[in-house]
């Protein structure tokens, strides 16, 4: 069900089929606005992170360093898992997310090293 399904347009705050109160609809909208703002912040933070990792990639390429650094990756994963635990976020989820990001960073570094960027 979408939030748009919750109000049948009558202005009475009741969903057409399920009678959801307008206060619930308003609270859902407020929470979803917060989620949208957080998602935007996450995207901007990732963009900043990738700007930094691009610089790392160019530095590595200039000095013939390998695109991947397993020791650094392992320490980052351990650090992120601890941060996740402290934030009451599933550490396994945080690790999967970081592994996804690391894979993309390595791909960028390989592209830079190959002179394609």
The domain segmentation of the chain, as residue ranges, is 24-112
Please determine, looking at this structure, whether the domain spanning 24-112 carries the CATH number 1.20.59.10. yes
Is this model's pTM higher than 0.85 or not?
Answer: no
- In this predicted structure, what is the pLDDT of residue 116? 72
Q: How many angstroms separate the CA atoms of 98 and 67, rounded?
A: 16
- In this predicted structure, what is the pLDDT of residue 8? 43
- In this predicted structure, what is the pLDDT of residue 3? 52
Cα dihedral value 40, 96, 82, 56, nearest 10: -70
- In this predicted structure, what is the pLDDT of residue 19? 83
State how far the alpha carbon of 50 is from the alpha carbons of 21, 29, 36, 46, in Å: 43, 31, 21, 6
- In this predicted structure, what is the pLDDT of residue 117? 64
Q: Are 27 and 80 in contact (CB under 8 A)?
A: no
- In this predicted structure, what is the pLDDT of residue 67? 96
Enumerate the H helices of 6-90 as residue ranges. Answer: 22-62, 70-86
Q: Which residues of the chain fall below pLDDT 70?
A: 1-18, 117
- In this predicted structure, what is the pLDDT of residue 86? 99
């Amino acid at each position: 069900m979408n939030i748009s399904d919750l109000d049948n347009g009558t202005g009475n705050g009741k969903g057409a089929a399920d009678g959801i109160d307008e206060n619930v609809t308003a609270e859902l909208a407020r929470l979803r606005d917060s989620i949208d703002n957080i998602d935007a912040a996450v995207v901007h933070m990732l963009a900043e992170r990738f700007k930094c990792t691009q610089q790392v990639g160019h530095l590595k390429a200039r000095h013939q360093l390998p695109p991947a650094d397993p020791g650094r990756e392992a320490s980052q994963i351990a650090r992120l898992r601890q941060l996740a635990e402290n934030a009451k976020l599933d550490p396994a989820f945080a690790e999967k997310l970081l592994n996804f990001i690391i894979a993309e960073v390595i791909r960028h570094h390989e592209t830079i090293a190959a002179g394609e960027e």
